[in-house]
A and B are shown apart, each in its own frame.
Chain A
Amino acid sequence: MPVLEVRDLSIRFGGLQALEGVNIDVNEWEIVGLIGPNGAGKTTAFNCITGFYKPNTGTVRYRGEDVTRMAPHRKAAMGFGRTFQNVGMVKSATALENLKTAQHAKVSYDVASGLAGSSASWREERELEQKADAILDLLDLSSIRNTRVGGLSYGTLKLLELGCALATDPDILLLDEPSSGMGPEESDELGERLLVLRKEFGLTMLLIEHHVPLVLRVCDHVYVLNFGRLLAEGQPSVIQTHPEVVAAYLGGEAPEALAQTTETASDAALDEATAGALDGADSNGSAAPRRRTTTRKAPAKRSEPSSTAPATRSRAKKTAAAPVDATDPDVSEVSAEPDVAPEPETPRAAPVAAKAPTRRARRKAAESTVSPSAAEGESA
C-alpha cells in the first residue's frame, strides 16, 4: 500500500484549471520528485495534498485512509511534514523556539495545565528543547540556536525549515524546493542529507525541485507536471531525456532538443507505459488531447499486479530495493552519475523559447485571478 496515493486530483481557480486528473503514488521509503516548468501546478498539488486547498475532484489517501478533506493541522499531526516555497517559519522567534513550535502536535500536556505550570508541562518543555537541540545538531545548525530566524541567510533558512518539518515527527515529508537559495555544493550536501534522513528517520518524501542534479541524485521516481496535467513519469534518468519533458521545459516543439535526446532501454519501457504519447509530440495541436489520455491510462496500468507487466514496473522493483541500495550513497551514485554528466541542466538552462510567452501569460492570469481564500470559500 502506498504511503500517499493521489487519484484524479483536479482543482480550478476561477477560469484556470490549475490541476487536472493528477495521479501520484509515493511508496514507503521512496523519494519521489515532482518537477515541471513554473506555473505547472506543483505547489498547488502540494497544497491540495496537505489540505490547504480543497480539490474540486479527486482523492488523497494516506496509508489507505481518505484524507482529502482533512484540515492541514490534523494532517500535520498525522504525519504530513511540509516545507514552503518561501520559507515557512516564525521569523520573530529563534531557531530553537521554531523547532519547539513545530513539535506542537506532539505535546501531550493541555493548554490549561501549561498555563498553570504543572510539573508535567515543565518536564515536557525540557524534552521539547532536547529534541530541538538534537535536530539542530543533526543539521549542524547548533551555532544559530538562539538567533532570530528573520536575520538568517536564505540557504540556512531552508535548511532550518527542513529541521522544523522534521520536528513535527513526520511520516511523509513534502519539500517545496528545498535547494532554492543554495549553491551547487550546498545542494549536493542537501541531497546527501536527504538520503541520510530517509535512512535515520525512515522517511518517505515527495519533493518539488528545480535543481536537476539533486533530482537525479536522490529521487527514485519522478512525476512531471505541465499546465496542471501529468506529462510523464518514470525514473529520473529516463525523464531527463524524455522528449516531451524537454519540450515542455523549452516551451515548444524544440526540434533540436528532440534530436539531441537518445533512446534508452528504459525509454522504451516508458513509451509502453505512456501508450505511444511520443509520436504526438511533433505537432503541438494533436499532442494535448493525447497527453490527457496518457495520464488517465497510466495509473490503471500501474495498479495492475507487477508480474503482468515486468517491463513497465521497473519502479516496483526499485521500491523493494530502495531501503537497501538508495540509502547507500555509493550505489546510487554509480547509477546516477553517468546520466548527470552529459547534459545535467538541459531543461533548466534552456532560455525562453517559442511557447514561453503563452505560458507566462497563463501564469499571470493565474496570479491575478487566483486568491486562495476565494478558492477555499468556493469549495467550502
Chain B
Amino acid sequence: MAVRTAQRKSAQLETAQPDSAQPESAKAADGRHTTAPVHRPTLLGLLLRGAVYAALAYFVLVFLSRNEDIAGRATDAVVFAIIGLSLHILIGYTGQLSLGHQGFQGVGAFTAAYVSFEKGVPFVLAIAIAMLVGALFALLLGFIALRITGLYLALITLVFGITLKDSLFELESITGGGAGAEAVRPEVLQSNVRYYFLCLAILTVVLYIDWRLTRTKAGRALLALRENERVASAFGINVTAFKLFAFVLSGALAGLAGALFVYRFGATSSGDYEFNDALTFVLMVVVGGLGSRVGVVLGSVLFSALGLRYLLDYEPIKEFLSGIFAERSQFIPDAIGAFLLLTTLIFNPGGIAQQLQPITRWLGGKKFTLHGDHDSGPAVVEGSSARA
C-alpha cells in the first residue's frame, strides 16, 4: 500500500508541474524581484568586454610566461590559488575553520617526493597518490569535526598542523629529516614555463570542479549544513557524509597543491610548513572574499606575492623599506596581511570579490552598476569564519 500511495502522489506532483511550470517561467520574466529586463550588451560593450578578456588572457598566458623566473613566480601564485580554493571548501562552503591546512599541503608534498624520488613512481601517479594521502589525512580530521565544532575544532586543526610538522615531517626515513626530501620534475617539464602552464591547466580544472560543486546537490548540501545541520537533515541531507566529503575534497586538493609545490622547488623540508603558513592561507581566503572563487584566487595570488616577498624584492621598494625598518623589514608582509584582514572584516566582509563585484558582474554580461545586488549571484558568506 505504501508503494502505491507513494506512486500516486509522485504522479500527482509530476502532472501538476508541467502546467504550472509554464506560466511560472513567463511570470518570472516580469516578476518584481527577478532580474527582470535581461540586459543585452551593445556591440561596443561586447567589444570592450572582449578586450578585457583578451588583456587578461595575454597577461596570464603570455606576459607571465615571458621567462623562467617570472613563470616560476607565477607558478607559486597558481599553487597558492589551489590551496586557497581547497581551504575555501571548508571555510566558505562548509563553515569549518581549518588552521592546519599547511599540514595537508605538507602531507601531499612529502608523499609526492617520497614516492617519486625514493620509489621511482612517475610524475602523474605521484600526484594522484599525494592527493589520496592528503584526502586520508583530511578524513581523519573530518571524523574529529563530526564531534567537535567551532573554536575547539579550529584549535584541534591548529594542533594537528603543528604536530604533523614536528613529528611526521621530521621522520628521517620518509621526509629526509632536516635535510628535506627531493622531487625532480620529469624531463618534459624541466622548464619553468611548461610547468607553469601545467599548473595553470590544473587550476582551471579545480576551478571547474569548484563551480560544479556550487551548482549541484553537493554544494547545496554543504551550504545547508553550514547554516543549520538540523534543517539539512530535514531536507534529507546526510550531514555526516557530506561533512566528511568536504574534508576529503579539501584534503585532496591541498595534497595536490603540496605535490605541485614540491615539484616546483625540487625539494622541501619541514620548515616549509610553519603555522604562519596556515594563517596566511586563512587570510587569503577571507581577504579574497568568502563565497567567491574569483576572490579567493585573487586573494591567494596577492598573498603568495606577499608571503614569498616578491613584492618586496623589487629593488627600489626593498631599499626604501630596509632604509626605514632595517632588519625588521621581514615582518612587513605579516603586517600588511593583518591590516588587510582588519579592513576586510570591518569595511567589506565580501573581501576583494565584493570590491570587484561591479567589474566581474559587467564581465559576466550584466549592466555596469556600482550598486551591489542582494538578490542574485553566489551566496556570500556572512562572517562564517567568525561563526565557525
Contact = CB atoms under 8 A, between A and B. Distances in A.
A92 B227 contact: yes
B20 A138 contact: yes
B32 A71 contact: no
B212 A114 contact: yes
Interface in B24-39: 24-25, 27-28, 31-35
A88 B228 CA distance: 8
A121 B16 CA distance: 23
Interface residues of B, number: 55
Contact of B234 (A50, A134, A203): A50
B5 A92 contact: no
Contacts of A104: 217, 220-221, 224, 235-237
B9 A171 contact: yes
Contacts of B231: 84, 88-90
A125 interface: yes
Given A73-B233, A73-B238, A202-B8, A134 B379 contact: no
A62 to B, nearest CB: 8
Contacts of B167: none
A336 interface: no
Interface in A93-130: 93-94, 97, 100-102, 104-107, 109, 111, 114-117, 121, 125, 130
A74 B239 CA distance: 11
Contacts of B12: 200-202
A144 B31 CA distance: 9
A77 interface: yes
Interface residues of A, number: 64
Nearest to A102: B235
Given A97-B220, A147-B374, 19 more contacts: A73-B238, A76-B234, A88-B231, A89-B231, A91-B227, A92-B223, A92-B227, A92-B382, A94-B379, A97-B223, A101-B220, A101-B221, A101-B223, A105-B237, A107-B217, A115-B212, A145-B33, A168-B236, A200-B12
Interface of B: 1-2, 5-6, 8-10, 12-13, 16-17, 20-21, 23-25, 27-28, 31-35, 208-209, 212-213, 215-218, 220-221, 223-224, 227-228, 230-239, 245, 374-376, 379-382
19 contacts: A63-B1, A81-B234, A90-B231, A92-B227, A92-B382, A93-B223, A94-B379, A101-B224, A101-B235, A102-B236, A115-B209, A115-B213, A116-B212, A131-B21, A133-B21, A134-B21, A137-B21, A145-B28, A168-B234
